[in-house]
Amino acid sequence: MEGQTSLVPLERIERAIILVRGEKVMLDSDLAEIYGVETKALNRAMKRNANRFPPDFMFQLTVEETANLRCQIGTSSSYGGRRYLPYAFTEHGALMLANVLNSERAAQTSVQVVRAFVRLRQMLASNAELARKLAAMEKKYDAQFKVVFEAIRQLMSPPAKPKREIGFHAKDDDDQKPKARKR
């Protein structure tokens, strides 16, 4: 299949992967579009084979999660909205869906779905490694440059000058100058 063009571009699948409850998932409507079936047919096949979808393969979103997704993605519920809360499928759940759908397109496209999840996992791992290296460098160089930063701060702040007082002040008994009169 390497030489063939895929039914669905990998980038399209990658954009459909979202993070919910700390899991990388795809929504039932996105998977239905990718697999070339209606969302209700996909969910019907999932429910007929419920024993193949444990909680670590699939879960239904809450009302709050659905509202948050609408805000993030910018979808509208005014026309043809859903009558139920969407289902979210992990990588394993998306692959299991392709098996229970019994369609050629779902079988072919499931390979691309798995590739998208793998690629996302690789990107996250490389970003985590980069973050660890950056944190180590900050710790290493913070101690060395602390003296330099402190010297720069001292040079930046002007020396404290005594403030000149405004107004008249009464002198002590030693001074013979007249005191200020109140008006």
pLDDT tens-place string over residues 145-166: 666 556 666 766 666 677 777 7
Q: What distance in Å separates the CA atoms of residue 91 and residue 118, rounded to the nearest whole number?
A: 9
Q: Is 88 helix (H, G, I), strand (E, B) or coil?
A: strand
Mean pLDDT computed over 6-23: 81
Report pLDDT for 124. 73
State the pLDDT at residue 4: 44
On whether the pTM is more than 0.75, the answer is no
What is the structure's pLDDT at 111? 76
Average pLDDT over every residue of 41-62: 92
In a domain? residue 135: no
* pLDDT at site 89: 93
Q: What is the rounded distance in angstroms from the CA atom of residue 162 to the CA atom of residue 61?
A: 65
Residue 111 is part of which domain span? 10-130
24 three-class SS: strand
The two tokens of residue 70 are 């609408």
When pLDDT is cut at 50, 70 and 90, the band that residue 167 belongs to is: confident
For the cut 90, the answer to whether the pLDDT of residue 130 exceeds it is no
- Mean pLDDT (the chain) is 76
Q: Is residue 106, in this structure, part of any structural domain at all?
A: yes
Between CA 34 and CA 10 the distance in angstroms is 11
Amino acid sitting at position 117: F
Q: Is residue 151 part of a domain?
A: no
69-86, pLDDT tens digit by residue?
A: 777 665 544 445 677 899
User: Dmax of the chain from CA atoms?
Assistant: 110
Q: Which pLDDT band, with edges at 50, 70 and 90, does 170 fall under?
A: confident
Position 152 in a domain: no
What's 104's domain CATH number? 3.10.260
User: Quick check: 5 pLDDT over 50?
Assistant: no
* Total domain count, the chain: 1
Mean pLDDT, residues 90-94 taken together: 89
| Per-residue model confidence (pLDDT) at position 44 | 92
pLDDT at site 77: 47
pLDDT at 11 over 50: yes
Question: Residue 46's pLDDT is what?
Answer: 92
